[in-house]
């Protein structure tokens, strides 16, 4: 069995039917306007969502991924589906490069945009990538294997204050102070090179009782390191306004997040465009004050129990979706 066939069997796209239904009106609006629909899959991964989009809709998909292995695998997998050949276009890069990806393929806008955030099943399952705390592997965690910064560099060179800040902020870990000091003390004897070594340091730093209620003691620290290595939150903060700008009027954007930090950034970007900016008491709402997007989901939507049973990794998924109704306003600076 080749690698792409194996990936197809392993991978269950999260909330697939709901995602397709949320994207459908934007694709329909393009068709009604006699325009060939274009969907951007910002996190191509193993291509599960993209393949389903191509099979359900007469449209083209631009698949973005920073992982060269994922791009190659998704291309091979989708190439095996004869009815979609030639309709997947790819871009090796981060999802804040949506306008560049569109322009590279001679396009100016997208009728649907999908973000399926976080680490992919493929990356978790490839042990040598070092994303998982459940088995020993090199401390890597790079989504783009051509990038310079890896988890080993963070763990072995960042000072204790930087480590504490990363683990507390990106991992929302209440024992960040203890874990950061434990890492620095351990590496004085010899550098930490594997996930197993790091897990053991964290186990010794975290009170034994904490694991009974908070899951694996290394879970939050590994999340924090992954976010730092891949600049995930900075990229997402830049990406969402650019995605909204790239959407056509009537187009839809769907964002699936898996932890509160991603969801907060998503909610903020959507709220900024979905509310009026008219000053309080202003007698008339001018065009420039009107909302530019319509929120489709009420709060966040979550997978059903059946979906979680089929794919346990979907359990933490939260979905938000919007439809673009007017040209977007410039995003406010968060600096």
Would you list the domain boundaries of the chain? 3-122+232-324, 129-230
User: Does the annotation list 273 as a binding residue?
Assistant: no
Task: With cut-offs at 50, 70 and 90, classify the pLDDT of residue 277.
Answer: confident
Residue where the block lists tokens 């978790």 = 124
DSSP for 34-66, written as a single string: T---EEEETT-TTSHHHHHHHHHSS-EEEEEES
pLDDT tens, position by position, 8-66: 555 678 999 999 999 999 999 999 999 999 999 999 998 999 999 999 999 999 999 99
**Contact call for residues 202 and 224 (beta carbons, < 8 A):** no
- Poorest-pLDDT segment among 71-80, 193-202, 229-238: 71-80
Does 116 carry a binding-site annotation?
yes
Q: Which CATH architecture has domain 129-230?
A: Orthogonal Bundle (1.10)
pLDDT digits (tens, 9 = 90+) for 78-128: 988 877 878 999 999 999 999 999 999 999 999 999 999 987 777 776 777
214-247 in b/e form (b: 16+ CB < 10 A) is eeebbbbbbbbbbbbbbbbbebbbbbbbbbbbbb
Bridge partners, residue 301, by sequence? 319
Q: Is 47 annotated as a binding residue?
A: yes
Decide if 113 contacts 22 (C-beta within 8 A). no
What is the pLDDT of the chain when averaged over all its residues? 90
Rounded Cα distance between 116 and 253, Å, is: 11
Sign of CA pseudo-dihedral 208, 213, 219, 224: negative
Which residues does residue 253 pair with via DSSP β-bridges, in sequence order? 113, 322
Q: 135 labelled as ligand-binding?
A: no
Fold of 3-122+232-324: Rossmann fold (3.40.50)
Split at pLDDT 50, 70, 90, the class of 280 is confident
In the chain, the N- to C-terminal Cα span, in Å, equals 49
* Residue 132 phi, psi (nearest 5): -100, 145
């Amino acid at each position: 069995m080749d690698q792409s066939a194996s990936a197809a069997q392993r991978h269950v796209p999260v909330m697939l039917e709901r995602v397709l239904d949320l994207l459908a009106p934007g694709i329909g609006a393009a068709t009604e306007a006699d325009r060939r629909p274009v969907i951007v899959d910002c996190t191509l991964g193993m291509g599960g969502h993209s393949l389903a989009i191509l099979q359900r809709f007469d449209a083209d998909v631009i698949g973005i991924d920073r992982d060269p292995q994922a791009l190659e695998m998704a291309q091979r997998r989708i190439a095996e589906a004869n009815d979609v050949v030639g309709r997947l276009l790819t871009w090796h890069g981060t999802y804040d490069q949506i306008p560049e990806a569109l322009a590279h393929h001679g396009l100016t806008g997208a009728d649907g945009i999908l973000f399926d955030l976080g680490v992919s099943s493929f990356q978790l399952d490839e042990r040598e990538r070092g994303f998982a705390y459940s088995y020993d592997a090199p401390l890597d965690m790079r989504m783009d294997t051509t990038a310079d910064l890896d988890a080993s560099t963070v763990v072995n060179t960042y000072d204790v204050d930087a480590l504490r800040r990363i683990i507390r902020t990106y991992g929302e870990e209440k024992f960040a102070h203890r874990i950061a000091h434990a890492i620095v003390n351990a590496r004085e004897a010899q550098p930490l090179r594997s996930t197993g070594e790091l897990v053991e340091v964290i186990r010794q730093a975290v009170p034994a009782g904490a694991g009974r209620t908070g899951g694996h003691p290394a879970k939050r620290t590994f999340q924090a390191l992954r976010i730092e290595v891949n600049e995930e939150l900075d990229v997402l903060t830049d990406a969402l306004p650019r995605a909204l700008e790239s959407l056509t009027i009537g187009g839809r954007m769907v964002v699936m997040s898996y932890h509160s930090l991603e969801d907060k950034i998503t909610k903020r970007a959507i709220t900024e465009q979905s509310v009026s900016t008219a000053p309080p008491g202003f007698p008339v709402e001018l065009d420039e004050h009107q909302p530019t997007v319509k929120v489709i989901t009420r709060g966040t939507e979550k997978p059903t129990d059946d979906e979680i049973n089929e794919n346990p990794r979907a359990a933490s998924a939260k979905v938000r979706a919007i439809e673009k109704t007017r040209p977007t306003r410039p995003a406010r600076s968060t600096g």
